[in-house]
């Protein structure tokens, strides 16, 4: 049977293994981003709406009509423990995609977090519950429930493609998706980056931090400097 493009629910064929997700959960999003050449991001408008803490989980993707949460409701019904529900709703802030009732149900389902390219409401509930939630804004106006939309299809947030089953990370610096096919290599690169930063922090604390690279870079670029600089 042919499915209607724009109004369909698909299977999620590949899912990141739990151990891999847990390994990424120990690392700062900024360092993962560095290991991915600093060119991927879900956009600076997606900010934490919870009190504190980081997020790591498996992407359950939703493409929604702006201001409509019918497919988001279905995604919460489908979610497995540890899933992060990622919604492309076009960044529209006119109507909230979810509030405290859906949040409470998502907690009960074991959802690991939300990334919403749209708005929420009942902000105090998100702060109090502290389920990692990243959204583009807040409005008291509620959503519609008419569709259309899609679940478990590739979506894009701020130019960053997120496929169902990818690893989704978030902390105070923002949101990042790690492609499942490249996740193990990215993890190794990130761990190496983290180890290097740990050594550098120790050198700073001991007063042994090598800053010679700054002048070397300036000279290489042809910067004119006084001899005493």
Feature table: binding site for Mg(2+): 122
Q: Which of 72, 53, 54, 47 is nearest to 62 (CA)?
A: 72
Cis peptide before 226 (omega within 30 of 0): no
Q: What are phi and psi for residue 183, nearest 5 degrees?
A: -65, -40
In degrees, to the nearest 5, what angle opens at C-alpha 54 toward C-alphas 159 and 18? 85
Per the CB < 8 A criterion, the answer to whether 106 and 80 are in contact is: no
CA dihedral of 9, 15, 18, 23, whole degrees rounded to 10: -120
d(CA 135, CA 47): 6
* Binding-site residue ranges for substrate: 99-102, 121
d(CA 171, CA 28): 7
Q: Which of 89, 29, 88 is nearest to 56 (CA)?
A: 29
CB count within 10 Å of CB 46 equals 23
* Binding-site residue ranges: 99-102, 121-122
Entry field: residues in the chain? 229
Beta pairing class for 149-151 and 55-64: antiparallel
């Amino acid at each position: 049977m042919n499915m209607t493009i724009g109004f369909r629910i698909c299977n999620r064929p590949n899912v990141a293994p739990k151990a891999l997700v847990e390994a990424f959960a120990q690392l700062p999003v900024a360092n993962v981003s560095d290991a991915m050449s600093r060119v991927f991001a879900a956009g600076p408008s997606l900010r934490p709406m919870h009190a504190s803490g980081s997020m790591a989980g498996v992407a359950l993707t939703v493409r929604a009509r702006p201001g409509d949460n019918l497919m988001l409701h279905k995604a919460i019904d489908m979610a497995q423990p540890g899933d992060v529900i990622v919604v492309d709703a076009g960044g529209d802030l006119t109507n909230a995609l979810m509030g405290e009732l859906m949040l409470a149900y998502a907690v009960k389902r074991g959802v690991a977090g939300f990334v919403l390219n749209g708005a929420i409401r009942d902000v105090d509930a998100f702060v109090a519950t502290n389920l990692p939630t990243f959204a583009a804004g807040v409005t008291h106006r509620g959503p519609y429930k008419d569709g259309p939309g899609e679940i478990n299809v590739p979506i894009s947030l701020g130019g960053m493609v997120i496929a169902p089953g990818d690893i989704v990370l978030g902390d105070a610096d923002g949101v990042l998706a790690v492609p499942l096919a490249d996740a193990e290599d990215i993890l190794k690169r990130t761990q190496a980056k983290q180890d290097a930063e740990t050594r550098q922090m120790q050198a700073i604390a001991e007063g042994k931090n090598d800053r010679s690279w700054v002048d070397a870079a300036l000279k290489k670029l042809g910067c004119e400097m006084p001899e005493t600089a």
